[in-house]
Structure 1
């Protein structure tokens, strides 16, 4: 999520409401939601809810991104990260919680390593280095061989920190693409110019020796965002030798046959409909890319009657003859209130062969499951959401991903939610079993 950027709402356009059903509590829910009852479509069940807990439940300890490995879910948090046992998805259990404060603490896992993105100047790379001169930001690396006691093993400083990162495994090395906004005037950690991404090599046998090995400038033409340069998110599809980068002012299609030397295949610009190119998702065949726009930076109510359906939404592009061509848009059809921050955010494919289906977080707009098999006419097929959070401000689902039969939602203030969709379109996904899952490193199913 980008920092909440002030922006005036665009001209009027009216989403249409969809049918809902209300549930007062979910089966297996250890604690009630602070935001009251939840609403779901008839085909979605709220099967579990685990609130944030100390030491990761302070006022500023927002839950962030998710990653999965075997029977474990990893949840980033501005205060650190948590590991959950999800061997029974209806009854997740906390295995450990690590206090390691920093924005943004987006998380990925690979073999015995866990990596956190740090997008905030800190006093140093260690978890307890918050005081003193704030002159470090970048990646922190942990050994998670012992899930009950993760061990900090090292860090890599990067320019403008790391807002998000993307793993590209390559034998005994793990390459990590670092995305970060910038530059920041008079900053020690984020100097101008910043028209680049950074690539970190992590030797799997000696992760403490990780270092930056490349700083490619992937912008053949200057970006058009007034907010920042650099990229927000990069999704790699190593099997297809492709990556799609959402870079604030632009979308970029990359050839990553050589992971250290990505080549620009195409640069997209849409100043009419997109404000912040936030993230990208390939379909399973690698013939489409969904780019999302985080209008307002995540802090505004853009799912209201004053914001057109093409803004703060998803744009569906078909890959034709090696070039991306825009086909359609998707935005949740349920009108949100003026005090509910809502915009397209993190999501993943629901693995159904022959179909293009995605689950996605929309902050206080909740979680949406939508079908873009027809690129020009995508449609919602299921949803989950809470009412406005009583404390106001930024709240709601940060990330919502499908993993081995269930949808997991990392709610900023509420904690971890587990959902089950039962629908003829999505039921085949239950037959797909993944050993691990990092949403920005796609694998075919």
Structure 2
């Protein structure tokens, strides 16, 4: 029952979650928005709240064939003047040469849950985390296959499916670790699932897929390392939710449901555990991890309630459904503080810490992060023990009810791009003395789970 819940709802899908949010700590306060602006977003509700230093500069609604009721926008990846947007119905490519006027280039209908996306050279990789009929995009009937799908994107107007790799329990997220002409992909997925042909027990591992960049059709699994020598068995699931690699530092940080794990990836096919941490008092689902630029800190997030519950309310403690900031001291992680958005959300607004990235400000530790219907938050954790929000963008409750809000929010070449589950692609600009130095940092590409120094 637990694994089925996780694979359906606890991990950002559309089914119901039954776990309750405990605690009765009161939030520190409810700040009055610095400004309330009515901006033409093209969305179902034009009313948005922003801090004075944040402005919505563009919104592109979802369009057919990726605008069905359950065609949720998911993750983002960047390359040159393009942003790639995952969607439960497939993926879309937008030209962002002018970020204030993004243009749709193409859409690929390829239905699957998650469809988290990364790009590398001419390759695009999608995560499939629910059994479908087969590896091809038109194989929607059946429950025989899940894993990674691979596309050639050399022609942005006409991406081409080139191959796939089946992985046990599918792929909820995946992480690229490039090595010359070989692309290693760490596959994270929950499991096992009773009576499943694609997710058998036991499932105490990650899977490493090798993709030859010149022959992606020959991609295959090359390792299934057990990175849990002293597993703190989560009551939720085995496996990992998300892994962030920092190849330049030979490090990775894995969020593995009940544990946070620091890894040595100097040999990318044989990751070694450096440290394993847990926090059963405050964290329910170790969701994701982000290093600061010099790899002296790691931010782990807790996706309390799986993304479908209203955990940004006055009855949920500020340490739950939040971010935990750890300093890396003499090779060991030490917890310093927590961050949670200070604005209370309504009981019908699903809200919890979700996907984010660093804003590349030299000498500072600043992140932008999605909080579903809690919106986009920009926060400073330079002082690990006392992180503070410095800006935000937020829509009101989704009029139709149900799961909504921003799935991923990442900074890329001067702008923040937010993948809103229902409202489409948002482009935001922050103008603030703390973040302005980031505008001088130019990236050629960006996959959030593969960090690069700036």
- The answer to whether TM tops 0.5 is yes
Matches within 5 A, 1:340-359: 340-359=349-368
Deviation at 1:18, TM superposition (A): 2.4
2:299 aligned partner: 290
The alignment status of 1:18 with 2:38, answered yes or no, reads no
CA RMSD, 1 decimal: 0.8
Contact map agreement 2:152 2:159 (CA 8 A) in 1: yes
Contact map agreement 2:12 2:308 (CA 8 A) in 1: no
1:43 aligned partner: 53
Task: Give the counterpart of 1:154 among 144, 148, 163.
Answer: 163
Deviation at 1:63, TM superposition (A): 0.2
**Which runs of 5 or more structure 1 residues have no equivalent in the other structure?**
none
Contact map agreement 1:19 1:41 (CA 8 A) in 2: no
Deviation at 1:6, TM superposition (A): 2.2
Matches within 5 A, 1:30-429: 31=42, 33-131=43-141, 133-429=142-438
Contact map agreement 1:246 1:291 (CA 8 A) in 2: yes
Whole-Å separation in 1 of the counterparts to 2:260 and 2:400: 35
Q: 1:141 is paired with a residue of what secondary structure?
A: strand
1:432 aligned partner: 441
* Segments of 4+ moved more than 6 angstroms: none
Whole-Å separation in 2 of the counterparts to 1:413 and 1:78: 11
Q: What's the CA shift string for 1:76-95, capped at 9, x where partnerless?
A: 00000000000000010000
Q: What's the CA shift string for 1:223-252, capped at 9, x where partnerless?
A: 332221100000000000000000011000
Q: 1:429 is paired with a residue of what secondary structure?
A: helix
Whole-Å separation in 2 of the counterparts to 1:223 and 1:58: 40
Q: 1:342 is paired with a residue of what secondary structure?
A: coil
Contact map agreement 1:224 1:271 (CA 8 A) in 2: no
Deviation at 1:12, TM superposition (A): 1.2
Q: What's the CA shift string for 1:347-383, capped at 9, x where partnerless?
A: 0000000000000000000000000000000000000
Q: What's the CA shift string for 1:17-37, capped at 9, x where partnerless?
A: 2231111115xx4x2x21340
Deviation at 1:8, TM superposition (A): 1.1
Of 2-11 and 417-426, the range deviating more from structure 2? 2-11
Whole-Å separation in 1 of the counterparts to 2:47 and 2:238: 40
**Which runs of 5 or more structure 2 residues have no equivalent in the other structure?**
1-10
Whole-Å separation in 2 of the counterparts to 1:55 and 1:333: 37
Whole-Å separation in 1 of the counterparts to 2:408 and 2:398: 17
Whole-Å separation in 2 of the counterparts to 1:194 and 1:294: 21
Whole-Å separation in 1 of the counterparts to 2:314 and 2:368: 23
Whole-Å separation in 2 of the counterparts to 1:105 and 1:314: 24
